[in-house]
Structure 1
């Protein structure tokens, strides 16, 4: 059984920079539109990782009082 109430890990400055840059990145678009299952699945996984990085960066910014 896992503890779901754990605080998320703090994002580093490099993670924040990468996640904010990912907001404007459309490089995965061709793979997301691919008819190949493997390419599309990999692109979705990368996209979800980028979304999670952005959410982590926003949480870190809120904790530091930026927002």
Structure 2
């Protein structure tokens, strides 16, 4: 993990919250929750090195490899 990227993204998330929170204060609770969930989901995804993570097919091969002899 690159710590500079982590802290830079955390700083950006904090800046977004500071700028948009006064606008969100007037909105209903559902809107606040939706905004926070989307923001935290995006922040969580930014912590992973997504271009270099193995895809779903790699995980499926790993999971089903022990069952290959049973299929033949």
Q: TM-score, normalised by structure 2?
A: 0.39
Q: TM-score, normalised by structure 1?
A: 0.41
Larger radius of gyration: 2
